[in-house]
Amino acid sequence: MNGFSYVRAEDVTTAVRRIAEKSGAKAVAGGTNLIDLIKCDVERPQRLVDINHMNHMPCGSITVCDGGGLRLGALATNAEVARDEQVRARYPLLSEAILAGASPQIRNMATVGGNLLQRTRCPYFYDTATPCNKRTPETGCSALDGFNRNHAILGASEHCIATHPSDMCVALAALEAEVCVSGPVADRTIAFGDFHRLPEDLPHLDSNLESDEIITAVELPAKGFAEHYAYLKVRERTSFAFALVSVAVGLEMQGDAIAEARLALGGVAHKPWRNRRAETLLEGRQASRENFQQAAEAMLYGAQGYGQNDFKIPLAKRAIVRALTQAAAGVQRQ
Ligand code: SF4
């Protein structure tokens, strides 16, 4: 492990300044992924800026936004968000997605901001003895012809077929949240769908957050799809496993017809996967198995397996149909 300096930041301005002034500086909050990466010699920060002490600022709270939505402070823990009364009542999709992820111990430490920035669990990324374009650009991708059971079937490139590991982010994509960030020049807001990147030819970049910016909050719009939603996670074991495929669904129903549909997939791409065409195929139509199957086909359009993960394509289609069926019925069953 490499040596690094450690500083505490008491507010956002100080945190941004301490990160911007030192190349290779990184913010740390719960540390549930970053500390592992440092121990594995994958991450080598020159400076760790501890932002946990900004917790007295709005970064640690859950508050109602002006437009009626909810603002999740970046330092709110996964456990705090999942059990928050407003989240459970207005955004049960988000609460259930969070509870489907990790263990209670990790959820007590992991934060909203860190959840967005956690890195892939591709085993080659953590093994410094193997080529990996994400860890060391232009060295190759060991997963293409190696162990790729958990890897991407959508949006991948010849340079990287890793998946994003978050459950929370799949729900945030379906809810069309916004990410609030602060940097040395200005604050800005990033639409959730634009926050994470596909690998293309720059797989070492996971998101569009600049290296001198920090996440301060995630804002949920007023509409939470609390009546008709589902988060379905298919994994190797019931607890504490990353998704092979996950599906977040939010529907607005008018009788038996679907007025509005939101659909996002996890475990299948470098970012939570949306496909607006699949959603429009559902809107204005009956909630029927045939229509759900058409939407599933559209959602998986262009999907490609790499051998061991070929099974994800039919699995994802079936999971979408099941999640849509649950959401339309207004009942959430795992
Ligand atoms: Fe590295 Fe991505 Fe290939 Fe995994 S899939 S070995 S993270 S380049």
* 213 three-class SS: coil
Q: Closest Cα to atom 3, ligand 1: which residue?
A: 141
| Distance from Cα 148 to the centre of ligand 1, integer Å | 9
DSSP 8-state code for residue 153: S
* 3-class SS of residue 309: coil
Taking residues 311-333, what's their average pLDDT?
92
- Distance from the alpha carbon of residue 123 to the mean position of ligand 1, in angstroms: 8
Q: Is the pLDDT of residue 316 over 60?
A: yes
Map residue 107 onto helix, strand or coil: helix
Query: How would you class 294 by CB atoms within 10 Å of its CB: exposed for 0-12, middle for 13-18, buried for 19 or more?
Result: middle
Tell how far the Cα of 206 is from the centroid of ligand 1, in angstroms: 12
The pLDDT confidence band at residue 331, using thresholds 50, 70 and 90, is low
Is the pLDDT score of 334 beyond 50?
A: no
Model pTM score:
0.97
For residue 133, which atom of ligand 1 is closest to its CA? 8
Average pLDDT of the segment spanning 139-145: 98
Atom of ligand 1 nearest to the CA of 162: 5
Q: Residues near ligand 1 with C-beta < 6 Å?
A: 120, 122, 124-125, 132-134, 141-143, 160-162, 203
Sheet arrangement for strand 187-191: 62-64, 70-73, 214-220, 178-182, 187-191
Residue 324 has pLDDT above 90, yes or no: yes
Query: How confident is the model over 46-52, as a mean pLDDT?
Result: 96
Confidence of residue 238 (pLDDT cuts 50, 70, 90): confident
Q: Is the dihedral of CA 174, 34, 58, 205 positive or negative?
A: negative
Ligand 1 pocket test, pick from 42, 122, 135, 242 with the greatest ligand atom count within 8 Å of Cβ, gives 122
Closest approach atom of ligand 1 to CA 131: 6
Closest ligand 1 atom, CA of 120?
A: 7
156 CA closest ligand 1 atom index: 5
Share of the chain above pLDDT 70, in %: 97
Please state the rounded mean pLDDT for residues 149-169.
98
Whether 114 has a pLDDT exceeding 70, the answer reads: yes
CA of 54 to the centre of ligand 1 (A): 34
Q: Which of 94, 116, 77 is nearest to 221 (CA)?
A: 94
Residue 199 Cα to ligand 1 midpoint, Å, equals 10
What are the Cα distances from residue 293, in Å, to 287, 319, 322, 323? 11, 10, 10, 11
Q: What is the pLDDT of residues 266-287, one digit of tens each?
A: 999 999 999 999 999 999 999 9
| pLDDT tier at 151, thresholds 50, 70, 90 | very high
Q: What is the Cα–Cα distance from 283 to 86, expressed in whole angstroms?
A: 28
Supply the mean pLDDT for the chain: 96
- State which ligand 1 atom lies nearest to the alpha carbon of 130: 6
**pLDDT, tens digit (0-9, with 9 covering 90-100), for 64-99:** 998 999 999 999 999 999 999 999 999 999 999 999
